[in-house]
Structure 1
Amino acid sequence: MSPKHAAPEPGAVDGSAPPPQLTKNQLTKNPAPTPVAADDDKLDGTVWRIAGVVVLGAIMSILDVTVVSVALPTFQTTFDASYATVAWTMTGYTLALATVIPLTGWAADRFGTKRLYMLALTLFLLGSIACGLAWSIESLIAFRVLQGLGGGMLMPLGMTIMTHAAGPHRIGRVMAVLGVPMLLGPIFGPILGGWLIETASWHWIFFINVPIGIVALIAAWRVLAKDEPSPSESFDFVGMLLLSPGLALFLFGVSTIPEEGTFASAKVIIPLVVGLLLMTGFVFHALRRQDHPLIDLHLFKRKQMSVSVITMSLFAIAFFGAMLLLPTYFIQVREESTLTAGLLLAPQGIGAMLTMPIAGRLTDKMGPGKFVITGLFLILIGMSVFTQISSTTPIPLLLGALFINGLGMGMTMMPIMTAALATLRHAEVARGSTLMNIVQQSAASVGTAVMSVILTNQFLSKPAIQAAKAAQENPAAMANVPPDVLAQAKAQVQEQMAEAFGTTFWVALAILVVTLIPAFMLPRKARETVGEEPAAPVVLH
């Protein structure tokens, strides 16, 4: 959501303030509905039809994050690229998501939610088709960015559309509807991706979006209300031009370290320095700009917001970066099919599905700190199993660790978001939601880049892996090698690959331990409210 999704000006704490999802312009066209009785808060047929349109878009956006995770080894083989390079198909997508989140609210007022939603669907569809037709890893990464620009708008726009249709008194039911793809995506995404790669080809993990997107476009055209756009408040284009390229250049520099083999390379240092300068420039710009900055850094004056941002950043870097490695482990080390790898990841999604709704309901009553700390300890238990991973680790043990990880993740994400927004005024909640969602997406991108760099460096340091790579490039030299020697060499390669994964998981574990420090600063008691209820957070991914 954009910072402008707050009706009153900063400082207004009037209990009658509209929810932050509605902007000034949108409120004049969509006035808040009259309060209704408690037994009259069910979603009617019209709202359910709109929900169907929104969920279709959300499913495509969220599934495309998880579907691609099992395809990374396939991309390595198909395009003869390193893991750090193919990981950019994930990093570029999530960076694009983060880039358009703050733009969406401003553009919704300027052009109308229906038009913008259909534009987002169209961008996502065109990006999907282009990804399926990609001829190189560079073109695939570029098309994933295009796809992410469309996908990033679908969830915040869907929240705005649903809030307008259902009214603020039914926001809980709206969040429940939009939560379905969030919970099911991590379970079915890897399975769907693995099945499509096994039965068809990697191209179809992108082409599958075409029929779904066409149905969503037709449904949006027929179901969504006609737009009445009006002039909107200014958008921080300077901030966007500083922050987005800055973060992208910084991550590009980090991701280039393995292929250069050293930090002291112009291809590494130049983008790193330029990226840091751009991000530093954004900080000064955002602190000076009082009128709708891209990210409202003044919110860091709130201690609880600062602590939550630090906790979310460290958690997302460690957890999402590390979990992206598992499909590659199952496929390259255990020689499982892509479909089997997807199925093996399901316990984590199931664990999150069990605890996320419970944590979401009880956080307000018991305080977010208790859930976040408990969730982090569960993840530490699960992650410690992966630090000891080998080429023969029992699969049931790994599945159990994944399930524990999922339980912990479900108890961590929503409570951190709630802790960040709990002490903000109504006028600040939308800006806080924007900040937290950008932090989450950007930190996940950083985690993907960092973990892929560490894993690639570990591969480069293993002699058996390098010898096997050299042998693949010269198959004639392997023609007279006895089969038993080849089998022994293969087992040695797999074991060294497993060691590389284990070392990378150790790094993730260390970051999670550090995450406990800010987590202990989160409130561990129920928030007391006086005169008004805390506004519901807007969680995008």
Structure 2
Amino acid sequence: MTTITPDRLDRAVLKLAAVLVLGALAPLLDSTIVTVAIHTLGADLGAPVSTVQWVSTAYLLALAIAIPITGWSANRFGAKRMWIVALALFLAGSMLCGVAWNIGSLIAFRVIQGLGGGLMLPILQTLLLRAAGRDRIGRLMAVVTLPALIGPILGPVIGGLLVGHLSWRWIFYVNAPICILAIVLAIRTLKPDPEPTRAALDVPGLLLISPALAGIIYGLTQVGAYGGFGHVAVLLPIGVGLVLLLAFVLRRTAEPLIDLTLFHTRSFAASTVLLFLTGFGLYGAMLLLPLFYQQARGETVTAAGLLLVPQGIGSLLARVAGGITDRLGARPVVLVGIALTTIGTIPFAFAGTTYVLQAIALVVRGAGLSAVNLAVMVGAFRELEPRQIPDASSTTRIMQQLGGAFGAATLAVVLQNQLTDHTARTAYAYSFTWAIAFTVIAAVPAVLLPQRPGS
């Protein structure tokens, strides 16, 4: 294991983080760039909005299907090898999307992209946590989560420039130089994998959990289209997914696809519940913010993206939360982060708030979100053994995906119902009140996190 200085991460770990973060930029930028181009894709490919939405939905479903296999694949074939495979898949999917001849081929190629993207982030966490150890997880997460902050800031700008001045195909071609450079650097920089395990793939488990996640997420993506949860097109896939997920949890096998004994560790169990709730409450509100500026304040898509930049600035300012969490533990940082996120959301629950106050609130909200995200990840991995990291990386990613999907779907229903009977400003004010309530609820499991390192 790489040696770590008492006060900061070892230079070799930072070099490794830089190489991996470069690769992670591709899928994180891609998701925001493609969102900007959805209207253009429909116009150029002659497809209705209901069909074009599958460009995003197919990607999300493939992402969900791939995540559960990352822990086993990292142990069986080596994390370095699987990182390169994930980058290659994402690169191939991007290039194929760029040459797509109709909406059907584009959707199919987005599946290849999604499979690569689903493998990447859990494997990134596995590689870095194995290299750095547990004592500097907070500082490490401050580096690792940078792409997640840069993506929402740069993605809309890059997407707007590419779509406005070049063909929509360049929103996919732009991934090529990033992926190629990341693959070359990974081959040259990443250390050889340790001796792989000989564990067989838990095929029955895979056939349960991957369709389970795909069903749940697909059902949630249909909530907005059908105006609520009470439609068979929503309830059926979610219900089937929950049944399959329950079967996966109750099933007993000697070599499970994901080791559920991880939940016997209190800090990991509390952190995964928090990851779901933070995705549900904290990140669900991310759906509301750009729509608020467009529908309630009458801004363009580009202007809305620029108005959200203060939130990214706040997130960057909160990078110090990583080192604070290493010293003080996850619990106090999470609780302070939840408080900041709540304070930063309150001005949006009042219809006449000025742009200046909203910008200040977004800085505070961004800092709170970033602090919570960093500290929760520290709480999740702090008490785990190195052999548990691959399964833990898959599990934490699954909980984030599910929480975010549930949060976005719930707040979309609240917003739609309010827009039916109220003005846009009143509807958004009410919806942000719900977001605040979800955020406050996340403080309950936070109390179960370790207060100090090792406590």
TM-score, scaled to structure 1: 0.70
1:234, 1:332 → 2: CA distance? Answer: 52
Q: Please state how far the C-alpha of 1:415 moved relative to its aligned partner.
A: 1.3
| CA distance 1:261–1:114, shift in 2 (3 Å) | closer
1:422, 1:113 → 2: CA distance? Answer: 20
Aligned to 2:257, the other structure's residue is in SS state: coil
Q: Please state how far the C-alpha of 1:353 moved relative to its aligned partner.
A: 1.2
1:125 to 91, 94, 115: 91
Task: Tell me which residue corresponds to 2:242.
Answer: 276
Q: Please state how far the C-alpha of 1:316 moved relative to its aligned partner.
A: 0.8
1:112, 1:424 → 2: CA distance? Answer: 19
Task: Tell me which residue corresponds to 1:316.
Answer: 279
Letter in 1 for 2:253: R
Counting only pairs closer than 5 Å after superposition, residues 1-150 of structure 1 correspond to structure 2 as 32=1, 43=11, 48=15, 53-71=19-37, 80-81=48-49, 93-94=59-60, 96-113=62-79, 115-132=81-98, 143-150=109-116
Aligned to 1:58, the other structure's residue is in SS state: helix
Task: Tell me which residue corresponds to 2:342.
Answer: 380
Task: Tell me which residue corresponds to 1:256.
Answer: 222
Task: Tell me which residue corresponds to 1:526.
Answer: 452
Aligned to 1:295, the other structure's residue is in SS state: coil
1:86, 1:448 → 2: CA distance? Answer: 19
Letter in 2 for 1:527: P
In 2, are the aligned partners of 1:321 and 1:451 still within 8 Å (CA)? yes
Task: Tell me which residue corresponds to 1:509.
Answer: 436
Task: Tell me which residue corresponds to 1:233.
Answer: 199
In 1, are the aligned partners of 2:282 and 2:435 still within 8 Å (CA)? yes
In 2, are the aligned partners of 1:327 and 1:341 still within 8 Å (CA)? yes
Worse-matched range after superposition: 314-323 or 221-230: 221-230
Q: Are residue 325 (structure 1) and residue 293 (structure 2) matched?
A: no
1:410-451: CA deviation from partner (whole Å, max 9, x where unpaired):
221121222233344555455434322321222223323333
Q: Please state how far the C-alpha of 1:229 moved relative to its aligned partner.
A: 7.6
1:359 to 321, 324, 340: 321
Q: Are residue 304 (structure 1) and residue 231 (structure 2) matched?
A: no
Task: Tell me which residue corresponds to 2:173.
Answer: 207
1:498, 1:252 → 2: CA distance? Answer: 30
Task: Tell me which residue corresponds to 2:333.
Answer: 371
| CA distance 1:148–1:359, shift in 2 (3 Å) | same
Aligned to 2:216, the other structure's residue is in SS state: helix
Aligned to 1:317, the other structure's residue is in SS state: helix
Q: Are residue 289 (structure 1) and residue 215 (structure 2) matched?
A: no
In 1, are the aligned partners of 2:141 and 2:374 still within 8 Å (CA)? no
2:60, 2:283 → 1: CA distance? Answer: 11
2:246, 2:337 → 1: CA distance? Answer: 33
Task: Tell me which residue corresponds to 2:312.
Answer: 349
Q: Can you give the 5+ residue segments of structure 2 that lack an aligned partner in the other structure?
A: none
In 2, are the aligned partners of 1:100 and 1:152 still within 8 Å (CA)? yes
| CA distance 1:319–1:201, shift in 2 (3 Å) | farther
In 2, are the aligned partners of 1:70 and 1:341 still within 8 Å (CA)? no
In 2, are the aligned partners of 1:74 and 1:202 still within 8 Å (CA)? yes
Q: Please state how far the C-alpha of 1:93 moved relative to its aligned partner.
A: 4.0
Task: Tell me which residue corresponds to 1:532.
Answer: none
1:193-224: CA deviation from partner (whole Å, max 9, x where unpaired):
34334444554333311232233345545666
Q: Please state how far the C-alpha of 1:191 moved relative to its aligned partner.
A: 3.0
Task: Tell me which residue corresponds to 1:465.
Answer: none
Q: Are residue 413 (structure 1) and residue 373 (structure 2) matched?
A: yes
Identity %: 40
Q: Please state how far the C-alpha of 1:342 moved relative to its aligned partner.
A: 2.3
In 2, are the aligned partners of 1:66 and 1:189 still within 8 Å (CA)? yes
| CA distance 1:161–1:261, shift in 2 (3 Å) | closer
Task: Tell me which residue corresponds to 2:359.
Answer: 399
Q: Which has the larger radius of gyration?
A: 1
| CA distance 1:273–1:156, shift in 2 (3 Å) | closer
Aligned to 1:411, the other structure's residue is in SS state: helix
In 2, are the aligned partners of 1:194 and 1:339 still within 8 Å (CA)? yes
2:61, 2:344 → 1: CA distance? Answer: 28
In 2, are the aligned partners of 1:90 and 1:448 still within 8 Å (CA)? no
Letter in 1 for 2:342: L
Q: Please state how far the C-alpha of 1:181 moved relative to its aligned partner.
A: 2.8
In 2, are the aligned partners of 1:81 and 1:137 still within 8 Å (CA)? no
In 2, are the aligned partners of 1:197 and 1:338 still within 8 Å (CA)? no
| CA distance 1:336–1:197, shift in 2 (3 Å) | farther
| CA distance 1:384–1:140, shift in 2 (3 Å) | farther
| CA distance 1:322–1:133, shift in 2 (3 Å) | farther
Letter in 1 for 2:338: L
2:284, 2:126 → 1: CA distance? Answer: 30
In 2, are the aligned partners of 1:91 and 1:448 still within 8 Å (CA)? no
Q: Are residue 444 (structure 1) and residue 404 (structure 2) matched?
A: yes
Q: Can you give the 5+ residue segments of structure 1 that lack an aligned partner in the other structure?
A: 1-31, 463-494, 530-541
Letter in 2 for 1:379: T
Q: Please state how far the C-alpha of 1:108 moved relative to its aligned partner.
A: 3.8
Q: Please state how far the C-alpha of 1:107 moved relative to its aligned partner.
A: 2.4
2:334, 2:134 → 1: CA distance? Answer: 28
In 2, are the aligned partners of 1:254 and 1:453 still within 8 Å (CA)? no
1:330, 1:419 → 2: CA distance? Answer: 35
Q: Please state how far the C-alpha of 1:176 moved relative to its aligned partner.
A: 6.1
Aligned to 1:527, the other structure's residue is in SS state: coil
Worse-matched range after superposition: 499-508 or 424-433: 424-433
| CA distance 1:264–1:226, shift in 2 (3 Å) | closer
Q: Please state how far the C-alpha of 1:250 moved relative to its aligned partner.
A: 2.6
1:320, 1:140 → 2: CA distance? Answer: 28
Q: Please state how far the C-alpha of 1:348 moved relative to its aligned partner.
A: 1.0
Task: Tell me which residue corresponds to 1:185.
Answer: 151
User: Over aligned residue pairs, what C-alpha RMSD do you find?
Assistant: 3.9
In 1, are the aligned partners of 2:75 and 2:390 still within 8 Å (CA)? no
Task: Tell me which residue corresponds to 1:29.
Answer: none
TM-score, scaled to structure 2: 0.82
Aligned to 1:294, the other structure's residue is in SS state: coil
Worse-matched range after superposition: 423-432 or 372-381: 423-432
Q: Please state how far the C-alpha of 1:69 moved relative to its aligned partner.
A: 4.8
